[in-house]
Amino acid sequence: MKLTFIGNGNMAKALIEGLVKNYEIEVFGRNRATLNTLKETIPQITVKTIDETEEMSGKNIILCVKPYSLLELSPKLTGEANAVYSVLAGTSIESLKSHIRAKKYIRTMPNLGASHLKSMTTITGDIELKESALSIFNEIGRSLWLSSENELDIATGVAGSGPAYLALVAEALADGAVQQGIKRLDAQILVQGLFDGFAPLIANDNPALIKDAVMSPGGTTAAGYAALERGNVRSAMMDAIGDAYAKAKELKEKN
Ligand SMILES: NC(=O)c1ccc[n+]([C@@H]2O[C@H](COP(=O)([O-])OP(=O)(O)OC[C@H]3O[C@@H](n4cnc5c(N)ncnc54)[C@H](OP(=O)(O)O)[C@@H]3O)[C@@H](O)[C@H]2O)c1
C-alpha cells in the first residue's frame, strides 16, 4: 500500500521510520531543504514540495501538519482522497471533512513515545479502516481502537498528555532523593531504572496488585504511600484527566 504523508516534522518522521519497511511512502512538505534531509536519511521515500494545487484522488493521506496549518493547506489539495488518517490534536473528523475531501476518515492521537517507536496511539473513525489504521499505527508502538471521538478526547488526557504527568512524577521523586542527600545524577539514574523496571510490571499486572506486593505492614512503602495520600496525589491525577478532557472538548469546538 502507498501512503502519502503531508507534513514532514517530528511526528511524520517517527511514523515514516516505522512504516518504510512495509509501505511505499511519498512525502509532501513545504520546505525543500528539510524534505531533502529526510530523503537523505530514508532514501526509499519520495519527497515533493506542495505546489499551488496537488491532486489527491485515490491517495491514502497521513496528515501530519499542525492543526492551524489546515486552513492554508486545504485549498491546495484537490480531488477525493481514498482515506485521511489524521494525527492532528484536537481536530474533529467533522473539521477534517470540511477541509479535505476523502471517502473515509480516521482520527488518531499518538504520543511522544513515537520518537522511540513506543507511542501509545488511540484511534477512531470509519470502522472500515479500523484494521488498516491499527496496522499503520502499530508500526510506531501500540495502538488502541476507540468507538467514538468522545472516548478519544478522554484518552488524550491519559496517553497524549501522560508523558508530562509521568515526567512530573519522575522529577519529583528525584528531587525528593536529592533533598534527602543523594547526588542529582544518582537520583536521575535511580528514577530511570525505576521506570524501566516498572514498564513490564504494569504491562502484566493490575496497579493495585503491584502496590499491594510492595507495601508491607508498617513498612517504608506504607509510610511513603500515606504521604502521597495526604498530598491528594490520587485525586489530583484524576482531576488532571478531567481537566485535560474538558480542554480537549473546548479546543475541538474552536478547530
Ligand atoms: N509531536 C507529538 O508528540 C505529537 C503527539 C500527538 C499529536 N501530534 C500532532 O502531530 C501533528 C504534527 O506535529 P509535529 O510535532 O510533527 O509538528 P512539526 O514538527 O512542526 O511538523 C509539522 C510539519 O508540517 C509542515 N507543514 C506545515 N504547514 C504546511 C503546509 N501548508 N504544507 C505542507 N507542509 C506543512 C511543516 O513544515 P515546516 O518544516 O516548513 O514548518 C512540518 O514539516 C500536529 O497536528 C500535532 O497535533 C504530535
Residue 46's beta-bridge partner residues?
26
- 10, 62, 66: residue to mutate for ligand 1 pocket, most atoms within 8 A of CB: 66
For the CA atoms of 69, 163, 148, 243, what is the dihedral angle to 10 degrees?
-90
Ligand 1 atom closest to the Cα of residue 88 is: 45
254 grid coordinates: 474552536
pTM: 0.92
Ligand 1 atom closest to the Cα of residue 90 is: 47
Residue 253's pLDDT is what? 78
Phi, psi at 113, each rounded to 5°:
-60, -15
Ligand 1 centre and the CA of 163: distance in Å? Answer: 19
Residue 59's pLDDT is what? 98
Q: From atom 33 of ligand 1, which residue's Cα is the shortest distance away?
A: 29
Beta strands in the chain, from DSSP E residues, in sequence order: 2-6, 24-29, 46-49, 54-55, 60-63, 77-78, 81-86, 102-109, 119-125, 141-145
- 6, 15, 69, 85: residue to mutate for ligand 1 pocket, most atoms within 8 A of CB: 69
Q: How far apart are CA 49 and CA 152, in angstroms?
A: 32
CA distances from 99 to 87, 116, 177 (A): 15, 31, 51
Closest CA to 121 of 105, 137, 139: 137
Per-residue pLDDT tens digits of the chain, which is 255 residues long: 999 999 999 999 989 998 999 999 999 999 999 999 999 999 999 999 998 999 999 999 999 999 999 999 999 999 999 999 999 988 999 999 999 999 999 999 999 999 899 999 999 999 999 999 999 999 999 999 999 999 999 999 999 999 999 999 999 999 999 999 999 999 999 999 999 999 999 999 999 999 999 999 999 999 999 999 999 999 999 999 999 999 988 887 776
Q: Is residue 18 within 8 Å of 94, Cβ to Cβ? A: no
Q: How far apart are CA 94 and CA 88, in angstroms?
A: 13
Residue 34's pLDDT is what? 97
Residue appearing with cell numbers 482522497: 81
Whether the CB of 11 sits within 6 Å of ligand 1: yes
Q: Is residue 120 within 8 Å of 159, Cβ to Cβ? A: yes
Residue 115's pLDDT is what? 86
pLDDT tens per residue, range 131-151: 999 999 999 999 999 999 999
Residues 6+ apart with CB under 8 A from 160: 89, 109, 110, 111, 122
Q: How far apart are CA 105 and CA 93, in angstroms?
A: 7
Ligand 1 atom closest to the Cα of residue 110 is: 6
CA atoms within 13 A on the CB side of 214: 13
Residue 90's pLDDT is what? 87
Residue 143's beta-bridge partner residues?
121
Residue 251's pLDDT is what? 84
Directed axis angle between helix 207-214 and helix 184-204, to 10°? 120
